[in-house]
Amino acid sequence: MMPETFTCTSISGNGISWVDEIIGSGYMKDVYLSPDRSYVVQMLKTRPDQNGIDRLRSLIFEKRYTIFLAAGGDYWRRLFVWPADMIDHNGRVGLVVPAYPKAFYFEHGQAPGSPLELKGKEKHGKWFATGWHRSCLDPRELGTWWSHIQMLVQLAQAVRLLHAVGLAHSDLSYKTVLLDPSRGSACVIDVDGLVVPGQFPPEVEGTPDFIAPEVIATRHLRFDDPLRKRPNRSTDQHALAVLIYMYLLYRHPLRGRKVHDRDDSERDETLSMGERALFVEHPSDRSNRIRLEDERKVNRKWCDTDKVPYEVLGPYLTPLVERAFITGLHAPGERPSAGEWEDALARTVDLLVPCGNARCEQKWFVLRSTPGQHCPFCGT
């Protein structure tokens, strides 16, 4: 039996149809496809309160117009998948969201011999964040180091724009970005949780690995405790720095060998990523260096911070890494802004040179002013 098709009138007066078959489901939403596949309807599992409804209205009918109808709106539309309308059907609230651009679905998919079936699936950011994830992919999906910098410029631009119009993402992570390294493109998704500081507070804390240390360190406090830190622009800045570090060096900046509680893994995680978070490449405290024997073999090249240190990022990105994970790790006001990352990434493009090794996976590296210059990725 063919699934039924429902139709209703949206908040803005448009006719919206969807096929009654869930194509995806998460913690907060069930996703249905439109008959012509041009958009999806994301039905919220729990009906928002009036403040939540007002927040969604603001994002769809105010902030969206501010961004996409202004000068340069066509460019910004490429960097977001933004809800375009909202429905209220049989007591459930749904968001009408454009379908992802074709570039953000795997064309070739998994590597030859891999048991995974990725062809046609979404290019969520996690697939490009570690050496192991990248090894699962067809090499034609990986792009080059140059194309990675290009897509990170776009990611930084998207975050800069959100902050410029008074928004914070609140859950920036490799689950909420789509990437296409083969073309150097990036796109931010799941923007229905955006925070409007002072008006609409955050509904989530973020995704593990990307939550700022101050949020983790204070989440034991009551929700209304003024000392409890909630997602905002500075926590976005932390998450953006983590993403940039991972997409250029394929390792996490805080997950090293240091153990804070051997008897309680949950407390150890809270301390490691919260109040005692320590950069794995801290210049004066080596206690959290990555233990290579704990890593998958395919990850070890990237996790060897002595052979591929963050300094290979060059003169513009290196100081920002230090501000993000040394001086600014526990001092949010010291973190680089999205605009600073955008500028440093764009300037770094001018320093890229091609590797002379045709088999080098990264193809490009930053020319630095040190003697004995060689490709840090393949040694050529």
What's the pLDDT tens digit per position in 36-47? Answer: 999 999 999 999
Give the C-alpha distances (Å, rounded to integers) separating 343 from 29, 153, 169, 320, 336: 36, 8, 20, 11, 11
Contact 220, 200 (CB under 8 A): no
Among 3.30.200.20, 3.40.50.620, 3.10.180.10, 3.40.140.10, name the CATH number for the domain at 5-74+81-99. 3.30.200.20
Tell me what the pLDDT averaged over the chain comes to: 93
Q: Name beta bridge partners: 32.
A: 22, 41
Q: Where are the domain boundaries for CATH 1.10.510.10 in the chain? A: 104-366
| DSSP tag of 15 | E
Q: Give residue 133's pLDDT.
A: 95
| DSSP tag of 297 | G
Number of Cβ atoms within 10 Å of the Cβ of 295 = 18
Residues of the chain with pLDDT under 70: 197-203
Where are the extended beta strands (E) located within 20-126? Answer: 22-25, 29-33, 39-44, 85-89, 92-98
Grouping H, G, I as helix, E, B as strand and the rest as coil, residue 263 is coil
CA–CA dist 151, 142 (Å, integer): 12
- Is the pTM higher than 0.85? The answer reads yes
Q: Where are the domain boundaries for CATH 3.30.200.20 in the chain? A: 5-74+81-99
Q: Name beta bridge partners: 42.
A: 31, 95
Domain 104-366: give its CATH code. 1.10.510.10
Contact 40, 87 (CB under 8 A): no
Q: Give residue 9's pLDDT.
A: 95
